[in-house]
Structure formats: C-alpha cells, structure tokens
Structure 1
Amino acid sequence: MARGRLGRCGRRGRCARGALLACAAWAAGWALAAALLLRAHPGAVPERCTDEGSRRILAALCQDYRGGVLAGDLCEDLCEARRLLYRRCLHYEGGKKVLQADWRGRPVVLKSKAEAFASFRPPGLPGDADGDQDVPEAELLLLVAGEVRSALGLELSNSSLGPLWPGPRGRGRLASLWSLLQQEEFVLLSLLQGLSRHALPVLGSCGHFYAVESLAAGSPRHRALFPLHGAPRSQAQAVSAVALSFLDLVSHFDNDFSHRLHLCDVKPENFAIRRDFTVVAIDVDMAFFEPKMREILGQNCTGDEDCNFFDCFSKCDLRVNKCGAQRVNSNLQVVCDKIFRHWFSSARTSPAISPRLRRQLRRAVQECADPGPAGSPPRATPAFWKLRSLLQATLRELRAAN
C-alpha cells in the first residue's frame, strides 16, 4: 500500500506541494469572490458596533454643535450640561447608528440613519438665500412638505406639519431639520406623535440624531418572543393580552389614518411591550403608508417572487411584466405568521389553556396566516374578529381559573 501511494505521488514531497498549491488556489478564489461581493454590495459585511466608535460619533456631533453647524433641543444636555449621557452601542446596520443613553435619569435610544451630519443633503433654499432667516415661512413650509412627500408619499397641508416644524429659527436649526427630514422613520414617528399609542414618541433631537423611549425589544431567543415573566398561567394571560394588543395595532394601522400603514418587516426585534401589555412598534424603517407602498410595489418583474418586498407581497402581471401596486397580503396575515404561530402552535400553546380553546386558536391562526388561493384578497376582517373573540375567551378562562 505504501509503495502504491509513493508511486502515484512520484518524487518525495510532490503530493504535499500539490496539496499546498491547490489550497492556495482555493483560498485565492474565495478571497477574489469576497472582494467582488464587497465591491458590488459594500454593506454586505456589518459594521462593528463599538463604544469607541459611538463616543467618537457623539464627539463629532458636539463639535459641530459648538461650531454652530447644527442645533437641537437635546444638544445642550448632550454636549454641555451632561444630562444626556451615552451608555452603550446597540447596533450599526446599513449606516444606521442606534445608541443607548440616559437622559436626566431616563433611558432613551439615540438614532440616526448615518454617522456624519455632512452625509445629509443641505436644504435647497430658494434664490440666493444664505440662511433660513432670509426665507419666508410659507416657502420653508413648502420645502418641508416636499420632503415629507418624498419620504412618505404623503401630501400634507401646512397645518399638518406642526410636529415637524422647529419653532424659533436660528443658525444650524434648518440644516438640522433637513437632516432629520431625510430619515423616514423620524418623519413617520413625528407625524404619529400623540396619534398612536402603538408608536414611539420622538423625545427630542440634536443635529441628525433623534431620541426615542428605550423599551426592551422582543427576540426569538425568548421562549415567548418577549420578556414575559411569572408562572405558566400568568404567562399565558400575558401572551393573550399581548396578542390582543397586536390585533389592536393591526386595526389601528389599517383603519385610523387617512391611508393604511403597511408593516413590511414584522419580527419580534421590531416591537416591544409596555407594562400594561401594549405593543409598540419600535423600528418603523420598513413601514409605509399606502401611496408609498404602491410606489414601492409597482416594479418590473418576470414572476411573483420579484414582487415580494420583505413582508409585503404583490403579484406579477406577466402580460406587462409589472408588479401590481396593490399589496395582496396584509399586516394581520404577517403578524399571524411571524408572531402568533409561535404562541399558538400545538407544541407551544400553554397547557393552562383548555384543550378546546387551544385547538380553536391553532386553527384560527393557521387560517389567518394562510394567504389563500392565488389572487384572492386578504381575508383580514373575518380572521381578525375570530381571533379577537377567541383571545378574549382565553383571557376570561384564565382569569376564572385564577
């Protein structure tokens, strides 16, 4: 056997050299492929989230504030009074920076779509105006309305722009507002301010960073997706209460605004639960009102798979090779699929719930999550009322048992 191996290898060491060359060629091929991937998709490798990088970002923000480049109602607390204190880096993703801080003893989250203030387009002031003081307020409101239209696809009157208007003007304030108006999540949360208990209020801003309430996000690592504590029966009550709040959120986003608000990225990490079990959408980067949703979906296609925008689906019209602008699934279907299936599948439903209700809930969630035959409209309304009735019955049963 040894002689056979030597015969195939030839002179001593030739096999080893061949193996090394093959290994080197393989590694070089993978390195070239990785380089090409990075060139085509520079954000393919996530940026490392570090305290050092986050402190550097905030130091640059404060340097611009002291130089009068930017402004905001949180700048003084962050940069001078030290009442807004950095705590830790939460994540960097696709350029977005998300940091945790304490503001006057209250935990908050600081967010920005980009690291540097200079990354944002400056305001397009009309004529030869060299500062916001020179521009009539009516023209500024027209510019703000244009930015909202670009970000959300909404046509708003001047009276509806109040939550976005900075009040007294000064050096750097308009430039700061413009950096915020280029961030769809900030615009959406600002317009929902005081109108939705299922959305985070904007607490303030400094330059291109804005602050929102800090709530513990869900995670697939939690057995119940969200941090719910207590005995099995009390956990079952909490899950039922949270599920009812998810239904309230779906109904609210579908019906309570002038246009339906579509959630295109439904996962536990994008929601949090308040102490009273209210569900709050804490990341709405992928939430779109109907006009913007239609604009996003109406793309060229060669099949239905080309018309899937994350959790928002459309269908391909092969006669014209174009996606339909109408979404064919619904917020409720996605919540049933991504959240409720986890809670009410046969293996996970709490034994504290009676077998009859467990079977009914499992069947109702399956019917809700199933989009039905191709081309059929979302069956949101019957599924919604059936689930709501079953969850209320579940809560009554659990409370009676307690």
Structure 2
Amino acid sequence: MLCKSFKRMNACRSVRCFLTGLLILVITIILLLICKIRLQRIADTEAKGTLADLCYQYTTKRITGSLCQDLCDLETLKFKSSISGGSNKNVILMEWHNSLMVLKSRVRDQNNLSPLTVWETNENQERVLSAPTVDFFETVISNEVGSLLQTKLEGDKRGLIVKLSDEKYDPENEKPSVAYMNTLMNLVQQEEYVNFKFYRKLTEFPQVLGYCGHFYGVEYIPPDQMLSSITLRTYRNRMPWKHRAMIALKLLDLFTSLDGNFAEAAEETHMCDVKAENFGVGDNLEVKVIDGDMIFSSSKMKSILEEEDCSKHSDCDFFDCEGICEVSKGRCTNRRRNFNIQVLCRDIFNTGIRGTQLLSNPPANFKKSIRSEVIKCSHLSRQEWRDFKPESDPSMDLRQLLLDSCLLPTT
C-alpha cells in the first residue's frame, strides 16, 4: 500500500510539473506576442511620423519628388505598416493605386546624409536655403556617384542626372530648385537607390517607382517566402519540385547576368550579402533582388578589400566576399578568393545547416547528382581557379540537371 501511495504521489507531482511547465510556456508565448504587437505599434507610429515629416518638408518646398503629391495631397499613397524589422533602414509598406509598394531609405533622418546646400540668414534675418549653381550641382552629383560606384560611367554629367531622377531636368530652360537638388543629393548617397537605377534594365531587380525626399519607392516583392529554411521545411511537401527547381534556375540566371554588367560598364559585379531574405519571389516565380546595398563593381570591391591589416585570409573577408591576406606583409590584397555563384551554391542551394531547403528532396534519380554538383560548386579546388576566377561556369552541369529534372512528370 505504501509503495502505491508513493507512486500516486510521484504521478501527481509529474502531472503538476507538466501542467506548470505548460502554463509557463503559454504565458511566455502570450508575453512574446504582446511584446511583438507593441513593438509593431511603436514602429508604425514612428513610420507615420516619418511620412508626416516628409509631407511637411514637401509642402514647405524643402524636398521634391514624383511620389510626394500622391503621399501628401491626393492620398493615393497610403500607409500599410512598417516592415523595417528593427534595422537602421526605414522600410514602409504602402498601397499605391491598389498595388503594394515599399518606401525605403538607408537612414531614418535625412540629417544623417550630407547636405548639398546649407541654411543661411538673409538681410531680413530669415533662414533660407543657399542655392548652388547648376554646374556645381552636376559636378557634386557626378563625383558622389563616381565615388560610390568607382567605375567609368557612360555619358555626361547632365545625362547622369536624367538617369537618376524621375523628374524633368532641363537647366537650360528652367533652373532646378534647391529642393530638387537637395533631394537628388540625398538619394545618390544611398547605394541601393543608385544600384537599382543602374540595373533598371535587368528584370531581376525591382523597378524604382518614384521618390519623395530621401525615400524611394520600389515594387513590392514578398521576401523570404520560398527561399527561407523555416518556410521550406514547413511547406516543401506542398511546393512541387518543379517550382523549386525553376526558382534555382532563376537565381542562376540572376547571378550570371551580374558578371560583366555592373552599372552598364564592362566590370564584374560582386554581391557580398547572399542570404534568403535578400531575394523575393513573385507569383510567377520570378526572382528579384530586394536588398541592393551590398552590390559592388570590381573597382569598388578592390578598394574595400585592400583597406585592412591581416594575419590570415578571414581577416580580409567583407561579409560574403572573401579576401586574401598577404601574410608576409600583414596586409589584405585587393583580390577576392571566392565568387558570386560559389556563395549562391554554399548559402542557398546547399541543404545543410548553412543553406536553405530550396533543393531538398529532389526526384530520386537526380538526388545524388544534384547534391554532388552543389558541393562541387560550393567548394572549388585551387586548380579550377585562374587568377582567382573559375575558367568556366561551375554551375553549368547543375543548371542542366535542374532543367532535366523539370521535365519529369509533376509529383
């Protein structure tokens, strides 16, 4: 009897412990949800304040832009939510003509950008903006973009401004306003805006739909829906292999199109932040870059890599762009030891812990060969390099396997 009593007591304790643990878990989840909701409300409030400030600056003629009137006067550009995710970048989801748009800026406050003009006090003791000459404006913009891209640009200074601006620019007949010049100056200090403008001919980059002040609007492409590990682990059985293989092929097309196509110049492009959330997948399985801050020309990449002291190669790494250390001199060289498609295979196509589940569970007769090609693409031997660049496209065989697997009957 005594033993049975002890067993009952232990069973009761186990049940109580389980229920207590379950209660603590439920309370924790509820508190986390409440915290998340409050943080989102705070972010939304800040975003609305930012939009109100943009309208104030527009109505007081301090900024300009093709989206300002829709945002402030016509109310056709409407706030949906802040999607900044706690980063320094300000990202706001908007509705525009019944479609979604993302308003973005590298900085929350334009005062964190270098102004083209300064406030001065006139003879009436009124604060007014100083107005630079057209030549000064064009020279500063050209120098800023040249410094940002560090590659030879086609055309003249005036043509460059026309390419970067969504508004009419004809200084021969109408001198640009101070608001216009300040707005463009704030925009060209943002790498992503300039990159998106120069890559506008490539369908793999979102279209810039306009701007208002230091914020620019791009088409909304849902991020991280088909490329993230968590999503694909949850939904991969619902997502046909053909769809996932097509996404992988589109990614290969994107990375191939970057080579020799930087800013319309014959330079290799370096993408130094290759992760799932930086790519979006549309309804038609079109893959697009949705975060373009870390895209550089070879000239820019060289200047970035050679700035550091080092004792080993990893000291020279710049995010996903891995550098080379000249150990005898203790300085990083200006050469990169990996390349874009290799990083794509390692961080996106790989189905291990580091990669995603995009290429997990392929058709049985392709499983071994696709895995082998992904590994080969991720870890090239030194013999396959020529001046730290592969002699041939290392993804060619992988591309063919993906194409062949798409021809199989849908399962």
Q: Secondary structure at the match of 1:310?
A: coil
In the alignment of these two chains, the number of paired residues is 345
Which segment drifts farther, 318-327 or 366-375?
A: 366-375
CA distance in 2, matches of 1:249, 1:221: 20
How much is the aligned-residue C-alpha RMSD, in angstroms?
3.0
* Whole-Å separation in 2 of the counterparts to 1:88 and 1:346: 28
Q: Residue 350 of structure 2 contacts residue 356 of structure 2 at CA under 8 Å; is this kept in 1?
A: no
Residues 1:175 and 2:182 aligned together: yes
Q: What does 1:2-401 correspond to in 2, within 5 Å?
A: 50-91=43-84, 93-123=86-116, 135-136=133-134, 138-156=135-153, 157-158=155-156, 159-165=159-165, 166-168=167-169, 169-193=176-200, 195-218=201-224, 220=228, 222-224=230-232, 232=238, 235-257=240-262, 258-299=266-307, 300-342=309-351, 353=363, 355-373=364-382, 376=385, 377-379=388-390, 381-397=392-408, 400=409
The verdict on how the C-alpha distance between 1:350 and 1:97 changes in structure 2, with shifts beyond 3 A counting, is: closer
Structure 2 residues without counterparts, runs of 5 or longer: 1-38, 119-128, 170-175
Moved more, 207-216 or 109-118: 109-118
Contact 2:80–2:95 at 8 Å: present in 1 too? yes
TM-score normalized by structure 2? 0.76
Distance 1:261 1:49 in 2: 38
* C-alpha displacement of 1:116: 1.9
| Aligned equivalent of 2:18 | none
How far off is 1:57 after superposition? 1.1
Q: Deviations over 1:282-301 (max 9, x none)?
A: 00111111111111111221
1:329–1:371: 8 Å Cα contact kept in structure 2? no
Assess, with a 3 A threshold, how the Cα gap between structure 1 residues 228 and 144 changes in structure 2: closer, same or farther: farther
Shift of 1:378: 4.2
SS of the residue corresponding to residue 109 of structure 1 reads strand
TM-aligned CA distance change 1:381 to 1:72, over 3 Å: same
Deviation of 1:131 (Å) = 5.3
Show the counterpart of 1:26.
Answer: none
Is the Cα–Cα contact under 8 Å of residues 245 and 402 in structure 2 kept in the other structure?
A: yes
Give the secondary-structure state (helix, strand or coil) at the position aligned to 2:395.
helix
Contact in 1 for aligned 2:92/2:103 (Cα 8 Å): yes
> TM-score with structure 1 length normalisation?
0.78
Measure the CA separation in 2 of the matches of 1:362 and 1:116: 47
Structure 2 counterpart of 1:8: none
Aligned-partner Cα distance in 2 for 1:293–1:346: 27
Deviation per residue, 1:363-399 (Å, 9 max, x gap): 00001011434994344734221111111111112xx
Offset from partner CA, 1:254-274 (integer Å, 9 cap, x none): 133421111111111000112
Letter in 2 for 1:285: D
Mind listing any 5+ residue stretches in structure 1 that lack a counterpart?
1-45
